[in-house]
Amino acid sequence: MDERNYVNNIIKTIINAPKLTKVMCSIYESELQIKQIYTLVALEFNDIEICRQKLINCGLIKCRIKDGQKYYSLVNSKICDAVLNLHDELYKLIIKTECGFNKLEIK
């Protein structure tokens, strides 16, 4: 897979899975353990584990071991900013134009 397709696949993965965004953005400001992420997001523990592994596989979060405990952090906080900004701008566009989701055609 070439680099462009790899990046496009990561973008599709994030956009199509709101749970990934929740988990990713829960560690926006600091390193957290899985149990701390669990207290911040309204997801099942198993869902958090799946998201954690996908985000690591995509290279979006990293793990650091400190005193025998695993801590997770973003590789680059701009990724979370970009996803949230895209969401906000699309939401504003849909609300302002009153086009609604049913009228959007994505080809």
Break the chain into its structural domains and give their ranges.
Answer: 3-97
Residue of 3, 22, 18, 16 lying closest to 106 (CA atoms) = 16
CB atoms within 10 A of CB 51: 22
Q: Is 95's pLDDT higher than 80?
A: no
Global confidence as pTM: 0.77
Residue of 17, 82, 81, 88 lying closest to 50 (CA atoms) = 17
- CATH code of 3-97, in short, is 1.10.10.10
Residue found by looking up tokens 């790899």 in the block: 6
**What tokens were used for 51?**
């998201």
Q: What tens digit of pLDDT does each residue of 14-45 get?
A: 888 889 999 999 999 899 999 999 999 999 99
Residue with more model confidence, 25 or 100: 25
Q: What tens digit of pLDDT does each residue of 45-65 get?
A: 999 999 999 999 989 999 999
